[in-house]
Amino acid sequence: MPTESLALDDVSFEIADGQMFGIIGHTGSGKSTLLQHLNGLLKPESGHIIIGDVDITEPDIAMTEIRKRIGLVFQYPEYQLFEETVAKDVAFGPRNLGLAEEEIQERVREAIELVGLDYETFKERSPFELSGGQKRRVAIAGVIAMRPEALILDEPTAGLDPKAHKDVLKMVEEVHRRTGNITILVSHNMADIARLCDRVLVIDSGRVVTVGTPKEVFSRRRELAEVGLDLPPVTQLTEALRQRGFQIDETILSVEEAAEQIAACLKARNTHNTQNVRRTEDK
């Protein structure tokens, strides 16, 4: 077909155990395609994907084995809910793994609590009558209940209101901390990525632009601008202040750090000004 194109090309990177790994890129940059390769939904035409000591691109690998290791939460995961009750829906994944009933129930309870919902109040409710944020938590719980070694979240906060956004991110952080597993987070929100992630990968037109710590990545302002990505708002502010001659460090990523440095600057300026005033008075 004349409509075919290359979705991913020359993509190489590593993720260490226990890392929170961020992936950022413009719409249509190949993020979602990349994620689907990571749990075997798509197979690369060439190249390898190695998880632990298993190469999942081997032709004879069992798909359930991959799915057990890698949990993928799609964009708008609430659209995959289908069962009559929340508990049954969350149990869908573990049940597919062929676990014993007791183990399933235990995992369901744990997963629902882990995403910050009360098991007793929610287990018997229909997933279709919940609020947007709650639906999303239930859908994420459905993947967490499979106890994957790595959890991938594709824009877990897309389309949520500011409070639900904050809550879901907090939950992701909490799950990451409690399980100590790899978490891969895709987001359009640069502030979230800068705050949460240990390492960040920038992707554009199916190619890796850069990989590094948030500080390294967000210090490459020009490259990011070229692929249509912004700096986190706080970094934009501090960079603008730096250009106005403020003595602030390069690439500040947290609001707290920025506040501290700006306060220090202002204090220095004030003492400087007062000294000037004194000097004029002396004359």
Partner 1 sequence: MIRDITLGQYFPGNSWVHRLDPRIKIIATLLFLIELFIVDNFIGFGIAAVCLGVVIAVSGVPVGYILRGLRPILMILIFTFALNIFMVNGRVLWQWKFLHITAEGLELAVFMAIRLILLLMGSSMLTLCTRPLALTDGIERLLSPFKKIGLPAHDIAMMMTIALRFIPTLLEEADKIMKAQQARGADFESGNIIRRAKSLIPILVPLFVSAFRIAQDLALAMEARCYRGGENRTRMNGMKFAKRDYAAIVMMVAFLAVIIAESWLL
Please answer whether residues 135 and 170 qualify as being in contact, where contact means their C-beta atoms are separated by less than 8 angstroms.
no
Q: In this chain, which of 30, 71, 133, 206 binds partner 1, going by CB under 8 A? A: 71
Q: Does 134 bind partner 1 (CB under 8 A)?
A: no
For partner 1, the closer of residues 41 and 265 by Cβ is 41
Decide: residue 175, CB within 10 A, 0-12 exposed, 13-18 middle, 19+ buried: buried
Q: Tell the smallest beta-carbon distance from residue 91 to partner 1 (Å).
A: 10
Q: Does 54 bind partner 1 (CB under 8 A)?
A: no
The separation between CA 143 and the C-alpha centre of its own chain, rounded to angstroms, equals: 15
Q: Does 68 bind partner 1 (CB under 8 A)?
A: yes
Size of the site for partner 1 (CB under 8 A): 27
Closest listed residue to residue 39, CA positions, set 56, 55, 22, 18: 56
Please answer whether residues 206 and 7 qualify as being in contact, where contact means their C-beta atoms are separated by less than 8 angstroms.
yes
Q: In this chain, which of 22, 25, 30, 77 binds partner 1, going by CB under 8 A? A: 77
Q: In this chain, which of 13, 43, 82, 174 binds partner 1, going by CB under 8 A? A: 82
- Specify the length of the chain in residues: 283
Q: Tell the smallest beta-carbon distance from residue 107 to partner 1 (Å).
A: 13
Please answer whether residues 50 and 13 qualify as being in contact, where contact means their C-beta atoms are separated by less than 8 angstroms.
no
Residues 140-159 within binding reach of partner 1 (CB under 8 A): 142-143, 146
Tokens of 214: 């948030």
DSSP 163: H
Binding site for partner 1 (CB under 8 A): 1-3, 36, 39, 41, 63-64, 67-68, 71-74, 77, 79-82, 92-93, 96-97, 128, 142-143, 146
